[in-house]
Each structure stands twice: as structure tokens, then as C-alpha cells.
Structure 1
Amino acid sequence: MPSTARCWTPPRAALAAATIFLTGCATAGSDAPPGACPPVVAYSPAEQMRVAEEVAALPEGALIAGWLADYAVLRDQARACQAPHASR
């Protein structure tokens, strides 16, 4: 790996923290019937901070960091699915 490759790699902890904290920003529509959307578990700010700290403590290259990013996408999709039905 060239010596500059590390410079272009975003810090894993920052990426995970941003993913966790930005999951509430999803805005999209869906035509899913009521009740078809999976529930989205709410996490307190304290829980979110603890998770960010735990992710930051993971060893370099830990697979779970990528899985958490996938989970954040699923949460965004579930929120988007629920959005049209929230006002009913």
C-alpha cells in the first residue's frame, strides 16, 4: 500500500458515528400498505454515544463496522416506509 493510501481512508470511528447520528435524516416516500413497514427501534442519545465510543474502540479492519453501516441503511429504509403512514 502506498504511503499516501492511509491519508485517503476516512477514520472508521467518524464514519460509524456519522452513520449512527444521521440515520434520522432520511426522507423518502413509499407506497407500502399500512402495517407492512418494519418497526424502527428508537435509541437514546446516551445509547448512541456509547455505541459510537465502542465502535471507535474496535480493532482496525473490524467487520462489524461495515455491518453497522448496512444496518443504518435498513433503518433509513424502514423510516421511509413508515413516513407516508405516520399522519394517518
Structure 2
Amino acid sequence: MTYKGGCSRRQHVALVLATIWLSGCATGASDVGSLGACPPVIEYSREFQARAAKELVPLPEESVIAEMLSDYAVMREQAGACHL
């Protein structure tokens, strides 16, 4: 092989192979049905939701718990959309 001022053909092949091998190290699940990519969304009954709402009413308006529940609602919505 002759040197042409850049990487040799072997170096190109080695870089391509390394890229292919490393791309197999993805952390997310590739199939939606398995655990990992989309977390399960627990279904709550209307009665359970109504009870939770009643328990939330006496909390102060700027309660940390209320803020956390708001964040949780957003995460549930995102997880539900993930399953579609």
C-alpha cells in the first residue's frame, strides 16, 4: 500500500469496523415491547383519582408535594405517548 497523505485503506476499514461495533452498545431497548424504552403506565380507577384529589386540597397552594405530582403527571403523559 502506498501512503497518499491520509489514512491508509486498513485504517479506514479499522475505523469503520470500530464504528459498527460501538454502535451495537446502545442502551435503549430496540423493541418497544421490552422493558427499558417505554415505562409501564399504571391505570388508576376514578375512585382512586378522586380520593387523591381530595387529599391534595388541604395542602398549601405552593406545596412541594403538589409540584411533584404535577411533574409526575407530565411524566405519565410522556410514558403513555411512548406506548402509542
Question: One fold, TM greater than 0.5?
Answer: yes
Question: As a proportion of its length, which structure holds more helix?
Answer: 1
Q: Percent same amino acid at aligned positions? A: 50
Aligned length: 52
Structure 1 residue aligned with 2:72: 71
Corresponding residue for residue 59 of structure 2: 58
1:33 deviation in Å?
3.6
In structure 2, list runs of 5 or more residues that go unmatched. 1-29
Q: Which runs of 5+ in 1 are unaligned?
A: 1-31, 84-88
Higher relative contact order (CA 8 A, sep 6+): 1
TM-score (norm 2): 0.57
Q: Once superposed, which parts of structure 1, at least 4 consecutive aligned residues long, lie more than 3 Å away? A: none
Deviation at 1:59, TM superposition (A): 2.8
* Alpha-carbon distance, 1:60 to partner: 3.7
Secondary structure at the residue paired with 1:70? helix
Say which one has the larger Rg. 2
Structure-1-length-normalised TM-score:
0.54
How much has 1:57 moved relative to structure 2? 1.4
